[in-house]
């Protein structure tokens, strides 16, 4: 059975017209049918992936799903969660549970959010907007990617409070221009990703036919023809309404089209970005400043010394350096090294129990990437909203079975770590 098409026009207008934390989108027959279909087919975040794999052209699915080289880090991210066991307590009264937590002065509904995913608008129509809107309505944090194909200003208008993640070059003039633009867009939390000095060796992309820039070919055309729902519902719809997608947010000005030969040049200056640039950014940027991609205590302490407001422990979902330490294994020592900073985590989170294990090791919250990209590809904003609901339900249920009523009460006593062999 195929999913019903989604009309986001009325929902988007409603979101933009009032308080996005509380306003409810209008219910339509189409949205009811879509929600019913999702509830029958998708019982966990894991269920989105095979549906997205069927819907997306092979190169796009490979871009989202793949990591680098031998996928060692990708596998280790999952293994790091499976190595930890939970220690439940009983008979403590758990009829009500509270998943909320506070971060940077804002109260969020649950201790997880949406990680930044590049080129989201290629695998879901207006992908950056629909993911940010779903997170905004659910009161969970969302980070927009700097390698997105939709203007930052459009996303911030549709979903105020969205965080913005930047890949920065080693040129302060360009950095200054982007900071001014981000500030004018009313971004409150700026996330700087620091683990991409050069591009990762994504052999899987090449094997699957994905390239940056996107190169038209007979094989790519065939993928479009054989995936008509994506071709008509995402690609053609985007071209007709918005033209050829551009990298919109790498600089103060509009970036290059996805088919331009200059794409690689525009993203090639990150090797010159250093701690000196971060120090200048800290003096210039008045909002919350988060550094993403920290895996060592040395860098965590340096980030703290440079005045950041938070750290995301991350290995880029295994998409940069293969064989690097899993984020969950790096988390405890980083939390211990910078106890004054909120430490967050991404890379490998898939279940409510994963969230709880990360909280037990000291994370303030976690971010989830690929599953929500699949959710957007499968069900647009309703798909993402369904994924958020599933995670909230899992965390609430897991807390009850652990004998805990508040997510903020999760601590190291909740987990059992087997002794080293």
Annotated catalytic residues are 316
Task: Count the neighbouring beta carbons within 10 Å of the beta carbon of residue 340.
Answer: 5
Strands 101-103 and 106-108: antiparallel
> Distance between CA 421 and CA 258 in Å, rounded?
49
Indicate the SS3 state at residue 86.
strand
Nearest to 327 by CA among 149, 142, 73, 110: 73
> Distance between CA 385 and CA 182 in Å, rounded?
26
Residues 6+ away with beta carbon under 8 Å from 373: 52, 64, 117, 120, 123, 124, 127
> Distance between CA 382 and CA 134 in Å, rounded?
7
Going 303 to 304 to 308 to 313, the CA torsion angle's sign is positive
> Distance between CA 102 and CA 110 in Å, rounded?
9
> Distance between CA 266 and CA 199 in Å, rounded?
12
> Distance between CA 380 and CA 125 in Å, rounded?
7
With contact defined as beta carbons under 8 Å apart, do 87 and 415 qualify?
yes
Indicate the SS3 state at residue 42.
coil
Question: Alpha carbon of 390 to those of 43, 175, 213, 371, 383: distances in Å?
Answer: 7, 38, 35, 12, 11
What are the DSSP calls for 94-162, one per residue?
-SS-B--EEETTEEESSSEEEPP-TTHHHHSTTHHHHHHHHHHHHT--BEE-TT-SS-HHHHHHHSTT-
Nearest to 237 by CA among 21, 3, 1, 9: 9
> Distance between CA 398 and CA 356 in Å, rounded?
8
With contact defined as beta carbons under 8 Å apart, do 17 and 157 qualify?
no
- The DSSP call for residue 22 is T
């Amino acid at each position: 059975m195929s999913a019903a098409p989604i009309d986001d026009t009325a929902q988007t207008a409603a979101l933009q017209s009032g308080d996005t934390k509380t306003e409810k989108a209008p219910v339509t027959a189409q949205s009811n049918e879509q929600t019913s279909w999702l509830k029958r087919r998708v019982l966990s975040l894991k269920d989105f992936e095979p549906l997205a794999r069927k819907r997306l052209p092979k190169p796009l699915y490979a871009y989202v799903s793949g990591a680098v080289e031998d996928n060692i880090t990708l596998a280790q991210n999952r293994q790091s969660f499976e190595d930890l066991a939970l220690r439940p307590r009983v008979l403590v009264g758990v009829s009500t549970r509270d998943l909320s937590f506070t971060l940077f002065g804002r109260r969020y509904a649950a201790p997880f959010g949406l990680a930044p995913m590049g080129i989201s608008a290629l695998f879901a129509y207006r992908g950056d907007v629909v993911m940010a809107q779903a997170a905004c309505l659910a009161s969970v944090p969302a980070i927009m990617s700097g390698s997105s194909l939709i203007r930052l200003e459009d996303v911030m208008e549709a979903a105020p409070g969205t965080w913005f993640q930047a890949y920065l070059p080693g040129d302060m003039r360009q950095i200054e221009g982007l900071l001014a633009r981000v500030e004018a867009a009313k971004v409150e939390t700026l996330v700087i990703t620091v683990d991409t000095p050069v591009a990762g060796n994504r052999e899987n992309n090449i094997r699957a036919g994905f390239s940056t820039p996107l190169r038209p070919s007979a094989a790519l055309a065939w993928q479009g023809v054989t995936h008509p729902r994506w071709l008509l519902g995402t690609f053609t719809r985007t071209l007709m309404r918005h033209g050829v997608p551009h990298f919109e947010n790498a600089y103060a000005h509009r970036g290059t089209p996805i088919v331009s030969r200059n794409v690689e040049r525009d993203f090639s200056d990150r090797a010159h970005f250093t701690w000196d640039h971060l120090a200048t950014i800290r003096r210039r940027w008045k909002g919350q400043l988060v550094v993403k991609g920290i895996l060592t205590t040395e860098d965590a302490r340096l980030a703290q010394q440079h005045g950041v407001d938070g750290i995301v422990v991350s290995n880029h979902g295994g998409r940069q350096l293969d064989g690097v330490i899993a984020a969950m294994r790096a988390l405890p020592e980083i939390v211990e090294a910078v106890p004054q900073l909120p430490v967050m985590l991404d890379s490998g989170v898939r279940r409510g129990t994963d969230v709880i294990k990360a909280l037990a090791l000291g994370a303030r919250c976690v971010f989830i990437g690929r599953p929500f990209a699949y959710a957007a590809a499968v069900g647009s904003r309703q798909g993402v909203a369904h994924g958020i609901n599933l995670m909230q339900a899992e965390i609430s249920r897991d807390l009850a079975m652990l004998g805990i009523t508040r997510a903020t009460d999760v601590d190291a006593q909740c987990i059992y770590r087997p002794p080293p062999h």
